[in-house]
Structure 1
Amino acid sequence: MSKGWQDVTTEEVEKRLSSDAPLQLIDVRNPDEYGDGHIPGSTLIPLPELPARIHEIDQNREVIFICRSGNRSGKACEYLDQLGYANLNNMVGGMLAWTGKQERN
């Protein structure tokens, strides 16, 4: 059985961001990790909160999940795939591999 999402590299994410594609970036790390640096325009939904905040995910847009290394974002993809969501992407390598712009707060 194949998985219902794509693994994408940080380079692919940067290309998609520069193309103005209708993306939704969801960061599933903890608030302190997010505050230390995140991709501009990403929405923080910590993985444990995902079931309660699933309504914030736009099923009509491509979604890229982000975490520290790609593990938690993979779990988010797996969870949403089981619920029938499509257009899911896991940013492999996570923020450890991200070399693009970051915001801090």
Structure 2
Amino acid sequence: MTFTTSKARQAFTDIDPREFVTLNDPPLLIDVRSQLEYQTGHVPGAVNLSLPRLLLGSIPMLRSLVWPEWFRDIEKDRTVAVICLSAHRSPIAADYLAKQGFDRVWNLIGGMLEWKRLGLETRSGKQP
């Protein structure tokens, strides 16, 4: 008996942080870490929506409670990118967003650890 496996097609695109910072018109960047992690250091311009809150929004009765208005209003044809600490949570978020109908979803390779290792700019504090 022979078993074959096939790798499922990834529903999102991985992007290197060095490539991301060179974009003339970067997409909305969603930081899926906790609020505390976000406040201690994040990519300038990134908005925070933790992975648990993102996933809880799949329950219709919770959506208005856990998803901020800016997220509920995003057009599905808009490019969005996601980042976390070490690129373990962000692929989950990217896959979820793609399955929710977002056309173009990017995942930042290596997360904030790689971003900081490369010496790229960060900000601290609460989301505006």
Gaps of 5+ in 1: none
More strand by share: 1
Aligned: 1:104 with 2:124: yes
Determine the C-alpha separation between the residues in 2 that align with 1:22 and 1:14.
8
Letter in 2 for 1:7: D
- Name which structure has the greater RCO, CA cutoff 8 Å, separation 6+: 1
Gaps of 5+ in 2: 1-7, 58-62
Larger Rg: 2
Q: Alignment partner for residue 38 of structure 2, among 34, 37, 62?
A: 34
Determine the C-alpha separation between the residues in 2 that align with 1:60 and 1:84.
8
Percent identity of equivalent pairs: 34
The normalised TM-score by structure 2 is 0.73
More helix by share: 1
Letter in 1 for 2:83: I
Q: Show structure 1 runs of 4+ deviating over 3 A.
A: none
Match of 1:73 in 2: 90
| Contact kept? 2:79, 2:104, Cα under 8 Å | yes
**Residue correspondences, number:** 102
The normalised TM-score by structure 1 is 0.88
The root-mean-square deviation of aligned C-alpha atoms, in Å, is 1.5
- State the secondary structure of the residue aligned to 2:28: strand
